[in-house]
Amino acid sequence: MDVRNCKMCGRLFNVLNNERICPACQKKLEDKFHEVKEYLEEHPGASVEQTATDNDISTKQIRQWVREERLILSTATEAGIVCEKCGKPIRTGRFCERCKERMANEFQNAYQKPEPKMENLRSTRDRDRMRYLKNE
């Protein structure tokens, strides 16, 4: 089991799924998320900065939630978040619709290409493993 220092409180905790913060801070963050969500329902159109100040949380955390598509900004502005590929202001996620579509197409093309080399590699590895087990 892996242990790591919590990014928020600095305490050591057991890492289960590569998380960066301890269970206690995760819970706190989750409560905060619901606070922010309710705040945004009452204050549609509040800016990232305003939301951060009023909820006593960092703008970085709010942006992260937006990147994770858990929050959606009311308007797309340069001051909010921008597409990681082309820099266009977006309301949620990491990429704008156009870049997302383009990446989906690229992914599909890559996926459709046959890759016999990968297959060979895998079967060689399996053979190696079997030999190793037999000798044991």
Q: Give the interface with Zn ion as residue ranges (CB under 5 A).
A: 6, 8-9, 22, 25, 83, 85-86, 88, 96, 99
Q: How many CB atoms lie within 10 A of CB 24?
A: 13
Nearer to Zn ion, 6 or 76 (CB): 6
Look up residue 101 and give its two tokens.
């579509």
CA distance 46 to 59: 12
> Do the beta carbons of residue 93 and residue 69 sit within 8 Å?
yes
Query: Based on CB atoms, which residue is closest to Zn ion, 59 or 82?
Result: 82
- Nearer to Zn ion among residue 4 and residue 39 (C-beta): 4
User: Cα(102)–Cα(105) distance, rounded to whole angstroms?
Assistant: 5
Write down the least CB distance from residue 124 to Zn ion, Å: 41
Query: CB of 9: closest distance to Zn ion in angstroms?
Result: 3
CB of 72 to Zn ion, least distance (A): 17
